[in-house]
């Protein structure tokens, strides 16, 4: 070090040469790469031609290559001869170790290419990372493949409410003694909905009473009821009553509401109406429920091209008054004929919708067959882990 006077304090500092520093070398890996190099005829041939050929198209320019003791370098990166097990071990070192943290494809590739190279390295690393079991079970799938929807087949019956779907909207603020809504939808024909106030803890007998009062007496006995696995629908009393009446029961798969997608969409519509009109007066929703039902049934459905009212009654009820002085409704005979034609057309409309859904099946979806092993979503599983935060995805 020098004294004062504004001189350079670092002029006496001596930098040690790199040859004086020890570098941790993976001797075993070095030997394996060297042994593989000896077995790689193309590399041996290149070494033989080095200095005698101006270029080698397969391996680039000769000046890009150099020897480093027992290994061959390409642009100052270790060349790894063809050896899949060697490839796997190198990628594993840069992907699986805790100090690496199971990075994605691009980040793993960036880590490996700092030191190594071989033809097709990026593709090999992508296959390794995508096939990593730890990544598949622990990482959040940010690009899930949504399976195509397979619609429930139309029964072929043109009478409304022969196939119905049922569900409940619960945990509503109390209104006239009710805190839930029973939602029934005509699945096959009109798409009409019936909203009935009830309580969250309704049992099978109560559900059947509401059906008898609001659905059966108006439209007759259904042939099929589609529902989720709520306690009302899986109870012994509910099943026995349906069996005695000859009603087929179809329950959705657990935690898979798409089975009852028709009612789920109506539920979303009713949820919106409740937020729009009852947020400031939550105790009034039960009184407004008939109006919400009317609003749904007067709107044109995207599948049928007609409103539920038109397919139920053959005409559209007046909703907001009119300035017309002459009625626009057809005669009774014309209305009945149009009604029957419209209901028959719903069968074709359902078939077209089903075909459109089938065409939207994702190309990346892999067909499954009996005996295939798959990863299961653990979201709704109770697994013996100390913390749910540590449960595999």
State residue 55's pLDDT score: 47
Coil, helix or strand at residue 186? strand
Among 20-24, 199-203, 208-212, name the one with the lowest average pLDDT. Answer: 20-24
State residue 34's pLDDT score: 78
State residue 196's pLDDT score: 94
Rounded CA-CA distance 238/299 in Å is: 32
pLDDT-derived band at 166, boundaries 50, 70, 90: confident
Each residue's pLDDT tens digit, 264-294: 888 889 999 999 888 888 899 999 999 999 9
Which tokens go with 92?
Answer: 């594993």
Residue in the block written with tokens 């209901």 = 343
State residue 1's pLDDT score: 46
State residue 119's pLDDT score: 86
Among 39-43, 206-210, 295-299, name the one with the lowest average pLDDT. Answer: 39-43
Q: What is the mean pLDDT of residues 155-160?
A: 74
Distance in Å from the first CA to the final CA of the chain = 60
Query: Are the C-beta atoms of residues 231 and 209 closer than 8 Å to each other?
Result: no
State residue 54's pLDDT score: 42
% the chain with pLDDT above 90: 19
Rounded CA-CA distance 10/300 in Å is: 84
pLDDT-derived band at 17, boundaries 50, 70, 90: low
Each residue's pLDDT tens digit, 60-104: 666 777 777 677 888 888 888 888 999 999 999 999 988 999 999
> Is the per-residue pLDDT at 160 higher than 80?
yes
Nearest Cα to Cα of residue 293 among 311, 269, 316, 310: 269
Furthest-apart CA atoms within the chain: distance in Å: 116
311 against 340, higher pLDDT: 311
Which tokens go with 237?
Answer: 């009393």
Which region holds residue 159: left if phi is over 0, alpha if psi is between -120 and 50, else beta? beta
CATH of domain 25-137: 1.10.340.70
Each residue's pLDDT tens digit, 327-385: 666 666 666 666 666 666 666 666 666 666 666 655 556 777 888 888 777 777 777 77
Residue spans per domain, the chain:
25-137, 163-317+331-353
Rounded CA-CA distance 35/346 in Å is: 72
Each residue's pLDDT tens digit, 224-276: 888 876 666 666 767 777 777 778 877 766 555 555 567 788 888 999 999 98
Each residue's pLDDT tens digit, 95-146: 998 899 999 999 999 999 999 988 899 999 999 999 998 888 888 777 776 6
- Go through 196-235 and write b for each residue having 16 or more CB atoms within 10 A of its CB, e for each that does not: bbbeeebebeebbebbeebbeeebeebbbbbbbebebbee
> Is the per-residue pLDDT at 197 higher than 90?
yes
> Is the per-residue pLDDT at 22 higher than 80?
no
Q: Give the sign of the dihedral formed by CA 58, CA 62, CA 64, CA 68.
A: positive
Q: Does domain 163-317+331-353 have CATH number 3.30.70.2740?
A: no
Each residue's pLDDT tens digit, 200-210: 888 878 888 89
């Amino acid at each position: 070090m020098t004294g004062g006077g504004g001189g350079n304090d670092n002029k006496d500092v001596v930098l040690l040469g790199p040859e004086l520093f020890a570098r941790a070398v993976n001797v075993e890996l070095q030997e394996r790469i060297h042994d593989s190099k000896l077995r790689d005829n193309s590399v041996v041939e290149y070494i033989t031609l080095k200095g005698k050929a101006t270029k080698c198209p397969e391996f680039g320019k000769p000046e890009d290559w150099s020897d480093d003791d027992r290994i061959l370098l390409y642009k100052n990166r270790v060349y790894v001869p063809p050896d899949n097990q060697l490839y796997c071990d190198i990628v594993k070192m840069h992907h699986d170790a805790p100090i690496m943290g199971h990075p994605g494809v691009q980040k793993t590739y960036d880590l490996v290419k700092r030191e190594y190279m071989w033809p097709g390295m990026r593709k090999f690393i992508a296959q390794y990372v995508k096939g990593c079991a730890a990544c598949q079970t622990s990482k959040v799938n940010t690009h899930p493949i949504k399976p195509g929807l397979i619609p429930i087949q139309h029964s072929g019956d043109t009478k409304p409410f022969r196939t119905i779907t049922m569900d409940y909207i619960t945990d509503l603020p109390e209104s006239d003694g009710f805190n839930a809504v029973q939602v029934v939808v005509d699945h096959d024909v009109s798409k009409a909905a019936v909203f009935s106030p009830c309580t969250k803890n309704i049992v099978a007998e109560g559900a059947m009473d509401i059906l008898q009062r609001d659905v059966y007496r108006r439209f007759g006995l259904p042939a099929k009821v589609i529902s989720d696995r709520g306690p009302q629908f899986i109870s012994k009393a509910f099943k026995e009553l349906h069996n005695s009446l000859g009603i087929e029961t179809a329950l959705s798969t657990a935690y898979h509401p798409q089975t009852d997608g028709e009612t789920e969409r109506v539920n979303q519509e009713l949820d919106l109406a409740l937020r729009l009109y009852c947020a400031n007066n939550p105790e009034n929703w039960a009184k407004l429920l008939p109006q919400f039902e009317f609003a749904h049934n007067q709107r044109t459905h995207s599948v049928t091209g007609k409103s539920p009212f038109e397919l139920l009654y053959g005409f559209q009820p007046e909703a907001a008054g009119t300035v017309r002085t002459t009625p626009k409704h057809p005669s009774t005979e014309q209305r009945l004929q149009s009604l029957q034609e419209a209901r028959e057309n719903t069968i074709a409309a359902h078939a077209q919708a089903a075909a459109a859904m089938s065409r939207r099946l994702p190309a990346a979806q892999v067909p499954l067959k009996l005996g295939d092993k798959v990863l299961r979503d653990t979201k709704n599983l109770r697994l013996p882990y100390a913390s749910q935060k540590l449960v595999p995805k």
